[in-house]
Amino acid sequence: MKVLGIIVEYNPFHNGHRYHIKKAQEITQCDYTIAVMSSSFVQRGEPAIIDKWTRSHLAIEFGVDLVIELPFVYACQSADYFARGAIDLLHAIGVTDICFGSEDGRIETFIDIAKAIFDNQTQYDNLVKKAMKEGMRYPDACNQSLKQIMGMEVKTPNDLLGLSYVKEIIAHHYPIIPHCFPRTNDYHSHNLGEIASATAIRQAIYQQFDFQNSLPHPELYQYEHYHLDDFYPYLQYRLLTISKKDLQHIHLVDEGLENVLIAQIQKCHSMSEFLDALLSKRYTKPRIQRMLIHILMNNTKKSIQEAMSIDYLRVLAMNNQGRQYLSLIKKNCPYTIVTNISRYQHPALDIEVKATKLLSLLSHDQENFIKKEYSHIPYIQKGESF
């Protein structure tokens, strides 16, 4: 039995994602397709543009059999932690193959690089540490170190994530076969068309440009969508009322950043202005954005650490095939399968509820938004409408 795993955010779900599902299924000739999907916030430290229930529903409509949640504690993290959580959950649920899009399109490239890093781990780690001490950002430090060891580079965010997936598989000896294929578009392109980048589509949605041809269900984004900028008043209040000592304990607030945060929040009038003030050679924009989300949620270093030992698989959506697969693996699955969070206790789920409550502040129907977190039924019948 072949079980395909795909790691997704669907922020938003676009025509390129439809292609990804079909191409991955074609390459692997799988019997089942399982997606592990970021929940309320995504890896770049931004709110998902629409809620996770709608995004998981879209996944089922276009070919996925089962959608499980990538918990916030892994989703809103750097590429290595993001990959660690995703691959661990896919292994626990019995995935035999994973497939992702890349700029290079050759899985051998990722395998060779991952093996080279492990064969030269001490040298690689030392080179990364040295580069960061000199003020280089972590992704750039990794890339420079890789270039010194192998004469190769991995620059784009998607390829960095792909490499992280392969590294996790190799490091833990997971019986998972990785595959990749060339991406259908430039990840940073701002051109809109039938196949367009998620970045370009998000900008079109925020600025109310015409994005109809780029999405399978454009009507879903007409009524309500979420933007990081809209959290700025809440962030201002948070930073103006928190003590410097308490701020130091928040996850990702390191190396004296609390002083910069408190000083700049009194000068800046928008999220974009605040982000520009915080940008430096040391920190990337996604890293800063992730820190701000943790500040808004009051996630301490200790609470994140305690929540990262995941022992459950939370189902967001499934079709009949997905339900059949769960019944096949339920007895042998090492993790508890959760379809109702009211019946299972875990620190990561407590944080998940906080993330939902934070995102609900941007919803027109806050009460119903939070209610779905507890009452959602993850089974979707074929042809069921939104």
Q: In this structure, what are the phi and psi dihedrals at residue 98, rounded to the nearest 5 degrees?
A: -125, 155
Instruction: Name which of 145, 78, 156, 77 is nearest 113 in CA terms.
Output: 145
Per-residue pLDDT tens digits for 237-283: 999 999 999 999 999 999 899 999 999 999 999 999 999 999 877 78
> How far lies 367's CA from each of 38, 288, 363, in Å?
22, 30, 9
Q: Which two tokens stand for residue 54?
A: 């709608």
Average pLDDT estimate for 101-121: 88
pLDDT surpasses 70 at 20: yes
Rounded to a whole number of angstroms, the CA Rg of the chain reads 20
144-148 long-range contacts, CB within 8 A, separation 24+ = 146/113, 146/116, 146/117
CA–CA separation, 125 vs 130, rounded Å?
A: 9
- Omega before residue 12 within 30° of 0, cis: yes
pLDDT score at 94: 98
H or E segment at 281?
none
Beta strands 3-8; 97-102: pairing state = parallel
pLDDT surpasses 60 at 109: yes
CA–CA separation, 69 vs 313, rounded Å?
A: 7
DSSP conformation class of 298: T
pLDDT score at 386: 60
Distance of CA 31 to the CA centre of its chain: 25
Looking at every residue in the chain, the average pLDDT score rounds to 92
CA–CA separation, 275 vs 271, rounded Å?
A: 6
pLDDT surpasses 70 at 185: no
Instruction: Name which of 70, 16, 38 is nearest 187 in CA terms.
Output: 16
pLDDT surpasses 60 at 156: yes
More confident site: 198 or 70 = 70
37-51, 99-113, 187-201, 272-286: segment of lowest average pLDDT: 187-201
Q: Tell me the three state secondary structure of residue 59.
A: helix
More confident site: 379 or 309 = 309
pLDDT surpasses 60 at 186: no
Q: What's the half-sphere exposure (Cβ side, CA atoms, 13 Å) at 201? A: 31
Average pLDDT estimate for 315-322: 96
**Cβ atoms within 10 Å, residue 173:** 7
CA–CA separation, 109 vs 249, rounded Å?
A: 40
Q: How confident is the model at residue 171 (pLDDT cuts 50, 70, 90)?
A: very high
Sheet holding 336-338, edge to edge: 177-182, 97-102, 3-8, 32-38, 66-70, 312-318, 336-338
Helix pair 157-172, 107-119: axis angle to 10 deg:
60
Task: Please name each of the domains of the chain with its CATH number.
Answer: 3-103+180-225+308-375 (3.40.50.620), 230-304 (no CATH)
CA–CA separation, 267 vs 22, rounded Å?
A: 49
pLDDT surpasses 60 at 188: no
156-170, 184-198, 247-261, 361-375: segment of lowest average pLDDT: 184-198
pLDDT score at 383: 63
Residues in the chain: 386
pLDDT score at 135: 79
Highest mean pLDDT pick, 115-119, 133-137, 155-159, 185-189:
115-119
CA–CA separation, 247 vs 253, rounded Å?
A: 7
H or E segment at 126?
helix 121-133
Per cent of the chain over pLDDT 90 is 73
